[in-house]
Amino acid sequence: MFKTVLRSVGVGFGALALATLFALFVVMPVTFYFISKSVAPAGAGEGEVGWDLVSIAHNQPGTVKLLALAALLIFAAGSYFGFRHFSASPGRR
């Protein structure tokens, strides 16, 4: 039983890693593409504004909580499906 739980936790972490890679290589470029399309070009002599992810996280605690909840749900779903797969009898697979 311990081996089954350990394997299902591993599948949960794997699902979380895949979701992170998907967000990093698909969601972020698409988001940056659409955000940059709506920005007007800077004129001569105007400064540029950068993104500070730490200040965004501190000013938007709801977003951080939502990301934590999404990570927890992805991990739980991966663990659930891993547990269902590994706890099945060999005849049912």
Q: Where are the domains of the chain?
A: 2-39+53-86
Query: In terms of C-beta distances under 8 Å and separation of at least 24 residues, what long-range contacts does 79-86 make, across chains too?
Result: 79/8, 79/9, 79/11, 79/12, 79/15, 80/8, 81/11, 81/15, 82/7, 82/8, 82/9, 82/10, 82/11, 82/12, 83/4, 83/5, 83/8, 85/11, 86/3, 86/4, 86/7, 86/8, 86/11
User: What pLDDT does 42 receive?
Assistant: 58
Segments of the chain with pLDDT less than 50: none
